[in-house]
A = this chain, B = another copy of it.
Amino acid sequence: MARNDTMAQTGLDDAAEAPYRRFNIPANGFRNYWNPILPAAEVGRKPKPVRLLNEDIVLFRDAGKLFALEDRCPHRGMKLSLGSCDYAGSGTISCPYHGWTFDGASGQLVAALMDGPDSPIVRKVAVKSYPVREHAGLIWVFVGDMAPVPLEDDLPEFIADQVTFFSIVRYCDYKANWRWLVDNWPHDHHGPYVHRTSPELLFQPMLPFGMTVTTTPLPNDKGIAVDGVNGITSGDYAGLGTFPRNNWWRCMTPAGRGKTEGFETSAARRRYGIQHQFETRLPGMVVVGRQSGEYCLVQWATPIDETTTRCFNINNWRRHGTLRGLYDRAHYYLWRGWAHDGTFSGQDKRMVEGLVPGPERLSKTDAGVIAWRKYAGAHARRAPEQDSLRHRGAA
């Protein structure tokens, strides 16, 4: 059941859609991309239902392979995810209702158990089969209307190259449209304000604000790099006073995520050739580097449906031998997992779930948001046919 990515289907009302419709950014997510949907450890032999870009999908494993099928038997409409993999090694799943058995790879009906072995309907029916991969501890599914691109095409290099890097992932579901999460990410200046009490930035100066945001397209339609310059960390506001207030305890120098100035002379660029510290990429993620170049955080907004988004925090460390790896893991589980993926991201979650969709009044600090929306709508991968339709429509 392919669904097109026009706006017509959305349940969100006109005012709520307005900021996205003009840029052609669909409510249920950009199709024709790989998205992570679950940690690999959460899917076993027992079929597992998931929703992705508003499509219901069943995931299962058999004989060491992973499969993703449309979660509805075409016979009478039963959820395949209530069924089971009765024939180990065959890579099939059987519908719990009448035993229609589908090949996990092709989606073809290979047996209709209750029709008997000589049923003529076999191989005349199929469910939609989704390209699916396991990589970096995650399960990735391609929902689209075209042949899938190689998975690596859609992964940041920090995730793609698991020889050079290793990853630890945490995820959380937001009761919010995916676009509201992604709008957070092209330096929209919520950071210094929302996270000013974050433990990860404790004792550090404020993140700079009032910056001039510039964006640079990345090669190959990957997304945009976002840079902010000329920021301040304190200001006097007429009639109000200073912001931030009670700043005396911010006595450290910037470090870690807090260190955002001077990336051009950083080890990340000198030693590893990393060009930008902040990139917002298609289909909807942010890549946040460190000036050391040894670590990188990717936050990925996977659209579940119009009102739910699964946000993955993918932490990536450069591999430097066993001891350093153990240290990095310990540091994550003892500190960063709580300080960032729990607390810092929890601050974002409270914001994004508190949004009331409708008209907007954007300002200087939204330059990155506007650039992202324009870029994303124009550069998102589309199936060839859709793409030509789009261009005809625009002509």
Interface on A for B, CB 8 Å cutoff?
A: 56, 71-72, 74-79, 82, 86-87, 90, 92, 96-99, 101, 110-117, 119-121, 125, 183, 188-190, 192-194, 209-210, 232, 235-241, 243, 245, 350-351, 354-366
Kindly list 6 other residue pairs between chains A and B, CB separation below 8 angstroms, not including A77-B355, A117-B237. A98-B190, A111-B243, A113-B235, A119-B364, A121-B363, A121-B364
Measured between beta carbons, the chain B residues less than 8 angstroms from A350 are 82, 96
In the complex where A82-B350, A114-B209, A116-B232 touch, is A98 in contact with B358 (Cβ < 8 A)?
Answer: no
Measured between beta carbons, the chain B residues less than 8 angstroms from A87 are 240-241
Measured between beta carbons, the chain B residues less than 8 angstroms from A74 are 359-361
**Minimal beta-carbon separation of A370 from chain B (angstroms):** 12
Copies of this protein in the assembly total: 3
Measured between beta carbons, the chain B residues less than 8 angstroms from A192 are 114
**Minimal beta-carbon separation of A328 from chain B (angstroms):** 33
Q: How far is the CA of A87 from the CA of B113 in the complex (A)?
A: 62
Q: CB within 8 A of A363: which of B82, B112, B117?
A: B112
Q: How far is the CA of A119 from the CA of B212 in the complex (A)?
A: 12
In the complex where A209-B114, A364-B121 touch, is A356 in contact with B78 (Cβ < 8 A)?
Answer: yes
Cβ–Cβ contact A101 & B240, under 8 A: yes
**Minimal beta-carbon separation of A306 from chain B (angstroms):** 16
Cβ–Cβ contact B189 & A111, under 8 A: no
In the complex where A90-B239, A110-B240, A243-B113 touch, is A76 in contact with B183 (Cβ < 8 A)?
Answer: yes
In the complex where A361-B75, A361-B125, A363-B75 touch, is A238 in contact with B190 (Cβ < 8 A)?
Answer: no
In the complex where A82-B350, A98-B189 touch, is A360 in contact with B75 (Cβ < 8 A)?
Answer: yes
Measured between beta carbons, the chain B residues less than 8 angstroms from A355 are 76-79
Cβ–Cβ contact A111 & B237, under 8 A: yes
Residue of B nearest to A193 (CB): B99
In the complex where A359-B74, A361-B74, A361-B75 touch, is A354 in contact with B96 (Cβ < 8 A)?
Answer: yes
Measured between beta carbons, the chain B residues less than 8 angstroms from A239 are 90, 110-111
Q: CB within 8 A of A82: which of B96, B112, B354?
A: B354
Measured between beta carbons, the chain B residues less than 8 angstroms from A360 are 74-77
Cβ–Cβ contact A99 & B243, under 8 A: yes
Cβ–Cβ contact A188 & B98, under 8 A: yes
The interface centre, meaning the residue of A99, A183, A364, A366 with most chain B CB atoms within 10 A of its CB, is: A99
Cβ–Cβ contact B365 & A98, under 8 A: yes
**Minimal beta-carbon separation of A211 from chain B (angstroms):** 9
Residue of B nearest to A86 (CB): B245
- Chosen A-B contacts, 8 in total, with CB atoms closer than 8 Å, are A77-B356, A78-B351, A86-B240, A87-B241, A96-B354, A110-B237, A111-B237, A115-B364
Q: CB within 8 A of A351: which of B92, B96, B209?
A: B96
Q: CB within 8 A of A193: which of B113, B351, B364?
A: B113
Q: How far is the CA of A120 from the CA of B58 in the complex (A)?
A: 52
Measured between beta carbons, the chain B residues less than 8 angstroms from A194 are 96-97
